[in-house]
Amino acid sequence: MIRIANGQGFWGDSLEAPLEQIRRGPIDYLTLDYLAEITMSILQKQRSRDPRSGYARDFVEMIGRGANDLVTRKIRVVANAGGVNPDGCRDAVAKALNHAGIRIGVVAGDDILETLDGMLSRGIEMRNLDTGEPLQSIRARVQSANVYFGAAPIADALAQGSRIVITGRCTDTGLVLGPMLHEFGWARDDWDKLAAGTIAGHTVECGAQCTGGNCQVDWQSIPDFAGIGYPIVEARPDGTFVVTKHAGTGGRVTVASVKEQLLYEMGDPMEYITPDCVADFTSIQLAQDGPDRVRFSGIRGKPATNMYKVSISYSAGFKAVGTLVYSWPNAYQKAKAADAILRRRLESLGLRFDAIRTEFAGVNACHGALAGEPSPDIAEVILRVGVRAADKAPVERFTKEIAPLALNGPPTVTGLGSGRPKVEEIVAYWPALIPKSEVSPRISIQET
Amino acid sequence: MARVKLVQIAHARSGDKGDTANVGLIALKPGYYPHLVEQVTADRVKKHFEGICLGAVERFELPNLGALNFLLHESLDGGGTLSLKTDAQGKTYSAALLRMEIDVPDELLSKDSVSN
């Protein structure tokens, strides 16, 4: 049996969780997920300013803080912290480890920005998986393009003795399946086992979201959210596993908390597609196996497809969001009046937007009309207006029309905060597929 | 029969994939699941999310988890970074679905309240 702990659900997650996973009990592997869909374009921009950057700096800091424990406890680390510069990340990690003689493996080759045009010219259209549009329609605005690799190159890097594996873009599930492939020597076409490891990865990929975080069942009684434990997979060679957390930590691992995470970001449950296999979530059997332990069994999988998913980011215009707070009496009525005034002013300025959206936080921002009419005595309402346009100019002008309402519109208004809203450049996400034959992962090993 | 809000007999979690939101709906007790299957249809969910879900609704069954998974297409104002919504990732749509009311046999509810 091996213990695989996840200490990071996304870039921005708790800085302490990975260290708690290392220190509070026995684990064999620590996995860390740093890359959200748009992270790559942010990292691409950082790298264009400084060629040594372009990776998750939080990871380097974590390694520095945890170095002693990682070495003495013989814990291996797998992280997709490499971003668009896995080698740069490796160099920074080596420095943080103070050259402790630790072998670091890098999985690269996922960056396909340079080869996009070649593929397009050979008829690989990379149509948007959601809209069906061909990539050519936004080619000039592309900022980054990366393939999602799976568990196989991670397992290969581990087989070459890596104590730390740093990847560029790879699937969240691959971070967890990779160590299982390596430790258990599963055949790369043992689809049921690959599906089991994939589902283990999906269960823990969002960190504490399977150990009581966000859990709707009896949430008031979930103990010690402040010290919530992150998930640990106790994996067995037969493909069964238990999801648990360290003793003495907060949170709760139950069939209910795990079911919620299983359904998170789920599409067709019988066709959960990764580069490694196609997992069938309708085959999962769950059982409570003692306090804070859920046992998984019965998982079935199908052969992997011959395509890789690619994540392409592109510049998609500009947006800004402004807010104002209206208080009792007639808070909602005042906020609605202010919205109408604002829209009339934007119109008379002749500004054109692709979208204008008004929400009244406290009334309908989350659930729309389903929330019903608010109490006429509602204490306060936040007016929130957002605009989006291909050009920056109208969005910029919009940001100057919020503040005047503090003096020249309906009464009892506040919350202007730090002044004008900021204009944001929109970097949007373009999911597509390419044949696996177009690209291969590159593994490099370095002794530090 | 008793008219109950789903929040009394189910829990849920939602997330996003581009402009599509997914809502997983899970029965709190196995006995509730057949009633979810029968009454919480894709059509009803589409009507429930009128004004929010502008595209089609697909439904998938996971009897092993006592759960249904719904895909609500065109529900996130373009999704991801394009969206101007507070809830650009549909994280609270799980709770929005739990506002729906369905009919459950009285005996099922009373039996549960005894066992609780």
Domain-by-domain residue ranges, chain B? 2-115
How is chain A split into domains, by residue range?
Answer: 2-110+148-305, 315-427
- Position A278 scores a pLDDT of 98
Smallest CA–CA distance from B12 into chain A, residue: A260
Best residue of B25, B37, B62 to probe chain A, by most A CBs closer than 10 Å: B62
Report the C-alpha gap between A316 and A309 in whole angstroms.
Answer: 21
pLDDT digits (tens, 9 = 90+) for A342-370: 999 999 999 999 999 999 999 999 999 99
In degrees, rounded to 5, the angle at the alpha carbon of residue B83 between the alpha carbons of residues A405 and A261 is 125
Decide if pLDDT at B9 tops 70: yes
User: A368 and B63 in contact by Cβ < 8 A?
Assistant: no
Q: Are A112 and A310 in contact (CB under 8 A)?
A: yes
B11-38 burial, b for 16+ CB within 10 Å, e for fewer?
bbbbbbbbbbbbbbbbbbeebbbebbee
- From residue A266, alpha-carbon distances to A198, B46, B71 in Å are 13, 18, 8
- Position B112 scores a pLDDT of 55
Report the C-alpha gap between A187 and A194 in whole angstroms.
Answer: 9
Report the C-alpha gap between A90 and A300 in whole angstroms.
Answer: 36
Smallest CA–CA distance, residue A228 to chain B, in Å, is 19
Best residue of B37, B65, B70, B75 to probe chain A, by most A CBs closer than 10 Å: B65
- Report, as an integer, the average pLDDT of B11-31: 97
ipTM reported for the complex, 2 dp: 0.96
Extract the residue ranges of chain A whose pLDDT is less than 50: none
Report the C-alpha gap between A446 and A89 in whole angstroms.
Answer: 12
Q: Are B69 and B60 in contact (CB under 8 A)?
A: yes
Best residue of A128, A370, A381, A424 to probe chain B, by most B CBs closer than 10 Å: A370
pLDDT digits (tens, 9 = 90+) for A316-338: 999 999 999 999 999 999 999 99
In degrees, rounded to 5, the angle at the alpha carbon of residue A227 between the alpha carbons of residues A223 and A230 is 95
Q: For A241-367, where are the alpha helices, taking DSSP H only?
A: 255-263, 331-348
- Position A418 scores a pLDDT of 74
Report the C-alpha gap between A204 and A116 in whole angstroms.
Answer: 33
CA A326: distance to chain centroid?
Answer: 35
Mean pLDDT, chain B, whole residue set: 94
Smallest CA–CA distance from B63 into chain A, residue: A282
- Position A99 scores a pLDDT of 67
Q: Are B67 and B25 in contact (CB under 8 A)?
A: yes
Is beta strand A103-108 parallel, antiparallel or unpaired with respect to A442-447?
Answer: antiparallel
Out of B49, B86, B92, the one facing A359 most closely (by C-beta) is B86
Question: What fold is seen in the domain A315-427?
Answer: Alpha-Beta Plaits (3.30.70)
Smallest CA–CA distance from A298 into chain B, residue: B64
Check residue A111 and report its DSSP letter: B
User: A261 and B13 in contact by Cβ < 8 A?
Assistant: yes
- Position B111 scores a pLDDT of 63
Nearest to A309 by CA among A57, A440, A154, A126: A126
